[in-house]
Amino acid sequence: MLLLNLQNQMMKKVFYKIFNWSKIITIIAVFFISCKDNVTSDVNWSVYGGSNMLTRFSALNQIDTNNVKNLKIAWTYHSRDTGLMEINPLIIDNVLYGVTSHLKLFAAEATTGKEKWVFDPKVDVEKSPENREGFGINACRGIAFYKGEGDSGIIFYTAGSSLCSINAVSGKPMLAFGKKGILSLYDNLEPYRDIRKLRLTSTSPATIYKDLVVVGTSLSENAEAAPGNIRAYDVHSGKLRWTFHTIPQPGEVGYDSWQDSTAYKFVGGANAWAGFSLDEKKGILYASTGTTNPDFYGGKRIGDNLFGNSIIALDAASGKRIWHFQVVHHDLWDYDLPTPTILVSVKKGGKKIDAVVQLTKNGFIFMLDRVTGKPIYPIEERAVPTDSELKGERLSPTQPFPTFFEPFARQQFTEADLNTNIPDSSYADIKRRFKSFKSGPMFTPPTIRGTIVFPGFNGGANWDGASFDPNTGILYINVKEMPWIVTMTETKDGDMTPYLLANQTNLQAGKILYKSNCMGCHGVEMKGMGDVPSLVDVKKKYTESEFESLISSGKRMMPAFNSLSKAEKTAIASFVLDLKNKQKEKFVRVIKATNPFYNAPYKNEGIQQFLSSEGYPAVSAPWGNLSAINLNTGKLVWKNTFGDFPELLKTKNIHSGGESWGGSVVTAGGLLFIGATRDEKFRAFNKRTGELLFETELPAGGYATPAVYSVDGKEYIVIACGGGRMKTKSGDSFVAFALPGKR
């Protein structure tokens, strides 16, 4: 019996050993299969931002913190179109799809950069019967890719006011979509008024949900603007499938947030210009909207103005509202939501919660439940200034303030914050000017003498958004901290634009028209500001006819002024281009019937960055940073001054930080990649510590979001280098980096 027991015990030990090893082997096998599946699913960058969750995360890890210093240029593609490019390219099955500064869509081999085909909208879009409004060059930050059963792949992108459907293999329009592959964004938008002469395009990519292509719009921010309706079309036919009214109509939720019951017929904006995020499993589309128009005077739009400045969750199949959350009530500061929500999962009280994260221009992080829209942590309605000096204005008495996250940007600018790293005479000048402006806490309203807005109209955060690591819960934001001034002016008899210009010469009329249409961006002296170009020497670049054509079509972020008559365009050209032969001619008086709704006692006289005479921000540095924030704890993990004025760094060794334009990407290899800075460099940081691990000069500024992908086991990272921002040179390159040698 004893021998039998010993034998049984020995058998049990052998059995357990075999069983445990088989479990271990099984676990290891499952792990490697899982890893293989993950790598396979992440080798492409097939959606804007890396995924519909907009995390800008790649699970690739061949390039890591140890070897990133060895990165070399793998290939360069020259688009032959020099100028600003903000495109986040797509890479699908060894093909890279991108867009040039002139909005040409192209395909190239993702391992060599060798061109496969180019689609030129000047050929197809310009001549399309749908293109009734003229072709203007808009910013293009991304494209959308659809591939259904039996399809070779379709690319959707916007050129001017046209949504184009392009065969991904041939580069030719999909003739069954719209009218010969082109669909006008003006169609099926506004039944109450003619909007054909108003600016309407799309700077961010559409979103694909099943067989739908969902589109947002970029609009004028003037008093008269198109509505920001969100629309979904059939991917094959272009037939409109659903519309969501971002300015509610009678009987719709949000209609009572407007005092004027007819506002929906006239007010524009509330547009999802930054694009969308999408929870494909739940079938929920998330839109983040802009301000209702005009930006800085709300006396004609009294109320909270839903769905302006709002996060909106829509049923992706039907367009029906599920929930909404307004981030700014009755916006007067151009605090439109500049980036789509990021879909994240966070831990709270030991539980995992699916959430949306919204970044704002004024430095807030809002985090809401993805299904219900309820705040994950308390958001308080706090009292804000309400003492507007502008007649007819009625500010919201409160605004939402998150409580869990500290603001990621400074939110108030006082005299103690003035820049002291400038000559004494320059400091005395900005101090005098500071005292002349209205300043105060955030949400201080616009004034006639000028109001400081800080952080300014570029953010905080802007369209370049943030990247999120789902493995660590850390969010990475490149932050801007620049003060701006908004100045209002009183109008005569409620006339928003001085069209009645009797007994004027072209020069006199041109000065008046420049002030009402152009000065707000280009400034009193036509020197431009920030990224707005100077017009001082524009006569060297444009002929009279070319300049008038530019006014008609617009270009990138410059709106089209189709509503101006030929005589008005000639008058502006005579002033801006200094056309002596035209300036003395009599201006042909134009009388235009204007809708009384657009008459207001005030208009925006101009916005400008608050700068010293040397061109440096009036506020103390740093003027930009790169921040890592843990969404599970709400705590700052690390923060680096980011971006520089090269001359300050070289002559005074001042690491000032500065504006940055272009997003980051984060990888499983422990890295954060970003271009975006005026010094035209491309960098890689240790995502855990913020340590700079790699830095190289680009052929021109990389003011775009990179893309990470792998082909045949080799990892690449590519960025568009068009330059052209922040007074830097322009380029035409797409540059891809990889580790040297074969996989």
Task: Of 437-451, 558-572, 696-710, give the lowest mean pLDDT range.
Answer: 558-572
Q: Are 293 and 269 in contact (CB under 8 A)?
A: yes
Q: Output the pLDDT for position 27.
A: 38
Q: Is the pLDDT score of 1 beyond 70?
A: no
DSSP letter for each residue of 480-527: E---EEEEEEEPSTT-SS----TT-BHHHHHHHHHHHHTHHHH-TTS-
- What confidence tier does 563 reach under pLDDT thresholds 50, 70, 90? low
Q: Which one is predicted more confidently, 520 or 701?
A: 701
pLDDT one-digit tens code per residue, 502-525: 678 888 888 878 876 777 677 767
Residue 80 sits at the vertex; the CA angle it makes with 78 and 81, to the nearest 5 degrees, is: 120
Q: Output the pLDDT for position 26.
A: 39
Q: Output the pLDDT for position 182.
A: 95
Residues paired with 630 in a beta bridge:
474
DSSP letter for each residue of 237-304: T--EEEEE-SSPPTTSTTGGGBSSTTGGGT--B---TT-EEEETTTTEEEEE--PBSSSS--TTS-B-
Q: How far apart are CA 287 and CA 341, in angstroms?
A: 7
Q: How far is CA 15 from CA 19, 140, 328, in A?
A: 6, 64, 66
Task: Of 66-70, 419-423, 481-485, 561-565, give the lowest mean pLDDT range.
Answer: 561-565
Q: Are 576 and 538 in contact (CB under 8 A)?
A: yes
Q: How far apart are CA 373 and CA 428, in angstroms?
A: 49
Q: Output the pLDDT for position 270.
A: 98
Q: How far apart are CA 255 and CA 246, in angstroms?
A: 10
2: left (phi over 0), alpha (psi -120 to 50) or beta: alpha
CA 418 remoteness from chain centre: 29
Q: What is the mean pLDDT of residues 458-487?
A: 96
Q: Is the pLDDT score of 18 beyond 60?
A: no
Q: How far apart are CA 267 and CA 257, in angstroms?
A: 13
Token code pair at residue 267:
């007010």
Q: Are 742 and 100 in contact (CB under 8 A)?
A: no
Three-class HEC string of 220-251: CCCCCCCECCEEEEECCCCCEEEEECCCCCCC
Token code pair at residue 193:
């008024």
Token code pair at residue 422:
């400038």
pLDDT one-digit tens code per residue, 391-426: 999 999 999 999 999 999 999 999 999 999 999 999
- Its pTM stands at 0.89
Q: How far apart are CA 106 and CA 617, in angstroms?
A: 39
pLDDT one-digit tens code per residue, 668-689: 999 999 999 999 999 999 999 9
Counting residues of the chain whose pLDDT is more than 70, the rounded percentage is 88
Q: Output the pLDDT for position 530.
A: 58
Average predicted confidence (pLDDT) for the chain: 89
Q: Output the pLDDT for position 571.
A: 87
Token code pair at residue 613:
């005479």
Strands 351-359 and 342-348 turn out to be antiparallel
pLDDT one-digit tens code per residue, 84-109: 999 999 999 999 999 999 999 999 99
| Domain topology for 497-593 | Cytochrome Bc1 Complex; Chain D, domain 2 (1.10.760)
Phi, psi values for residue 5, rounded to 5°: -60, -40
Q: What residue ranges do the domains of the chain occupy?
A: 2-42, 497-593
Phi, psi values for residue 467, rounded to 5°: -115, 155
Phi, psi values for residue 511, rounded to 5°: -65, -40
Q: What is the mean pLDDT of residues 243-256?
A: 97
Residue 569 sits at the vertex; the CA angle it makes with 567 and 572, to the nearest 5 degrees, is: 110
Q: What is the mean pLDDT of residues 104-131?
A: 86
Q: Is residue 470 reached through a cis peptide bond, with omega within 30 degrees of 0 on the bond before it?
A: no
Adjacency order of strands within the sheet including 365-369: 342-348, 351-359, 365-369
Indicate the Cα dihedral angle 104, 109, 113, 117, nearest 10°: -30
Q: How far apart are CA 364 and CA 375, in angstroms?
A: 14
Q: How far apart are CA 219 and CA 95, in angstroms?
A: 32
Q: Roughly how many angstroms between the first and final C-alpha of the chain, as a whole number?
A: 62
Residue 252 sits at the vertex; the CA angle it makes with 247 and 256, to the nearest 5 degrees, is: 75
Residue 502 sits at the vertex; the CA angle it makes with 499 and 392, to the nearest 5 degrees, is: 40
Q: What is the mean pLDDT of residues 538-554?
A: 78
Q: Which residues contact 390 (CB under 8 A, 6 or more apart)?
A: 297, 299, 445, 446, 447, 448, 488, 601, 602
Q: Is the pLDDT score of 294 beyond 70?
A: yes
